Copies of this chain bind each other. A is one copy, B any other.
Amino acid sequence: MDLGLLYSAGKDSSLAALLLDPFYTVTLVTATFGITDDWNHARRTAEAAGFDFRTLDLDPAVAEAAVDRMIADGSPRNAIQEVHTHALEELAGEGFSAVADGTRRDDRVPTVPRAQAQSLEDRHGVDYVAPLSGFGRGAVDQLVDARLDVESGPSESVPRADYEAELRALLAEREGRAAVSAVFPDHEQSHVTDFR
């Protein structure tokens, strides 16, 4: 069974790949608006770990709307949720038997409620799988330590491979770099470099 996994080279989507690998023919799929080429960071990790890789083109209008939303909200939360939903919808239309993401039990965003998962499955004729949705923070941290090579640091110094990097770039272009610090809270970023 072929499965496309939304992939950012972060800890969660990398761990999701490891959990799914024994059961599916997994392709790691990094979504891009075409704003930057940060998706190459994910490609390098995917290749190092021996996974098939491809990109998924997202609608640039969704990025513009997401940045509008971030500015209005003063927070990236709703915007990230909307972009994730768009990415899953696009992925579900790509012909895979199953699609997946790295959402965890304790995530605040993005989340995929059960009704949304069922709707995605029914409309696209695919299975949607969230292999980490039954794992809490403690279990995830232990598996990451055991199975992934990770580099961590402030968001600006560690490569971020998914659409969040592109949304940050678009926000900086439209509103200046100070807007990025205002909207995105400081947080430790991590990037997986290889799987064990």
Residues of A within 8 A of B (CB): 1, 18-19, 22-23, 98, 103, 105-106, 114, 117-118, 121, 127-136, 138-139, 142-143, 146-147
Contacts and interface: CB of A to CB of B under 8 A. Distances in A.
Given A121-B138, A134-B129, A136-B117, A146 B105 contact: no
Given A105-B114, A127-B142, A129-B139, 14 more contacts: A19-B19, A19-B23, A19-B131, A23-B143, A23-B147, A106-B118, A117-B136, A118-B136, A121-B136, A127-B136, A128-B136, A128-B139, A131-B135, A132-B134
Contacts of A127: 135-136, 138-139, 142
Contact of A130 (B22, B106, B121, B134): B134
A103 to B, nearest CB: 8
The DSSP consensus for interface residues of chain A is mixed
A98 B132 contact: no
A104 B47 CA distance: 32
Contact of A131 (B18, B118, B131, B146): B131
Listed residue (A106, A114, A139) with the most chain B CB atoms within 10 angstroms of its CB: A139
Contacts of A23: 18-19, 143, 146-147
Closest 10 CB pairs of A and B: A130-B134, A133-B134, A127-B139, A127-B138, A129-B139, A133-B133, A131-B134, A129-B135, A23-B143, A129-B134
A118 B137 CA distance: 10
Contacts of A1: 142, 146
A134 B142 CA distance: 19
Nearest to A132: B134
A22 B130 CA distance: 18
A106 B129 CA distance: 12
Listed residue (A19, A22, A118, A129) with the most chain B CB atoms within 10 angstroms of its CB: A129
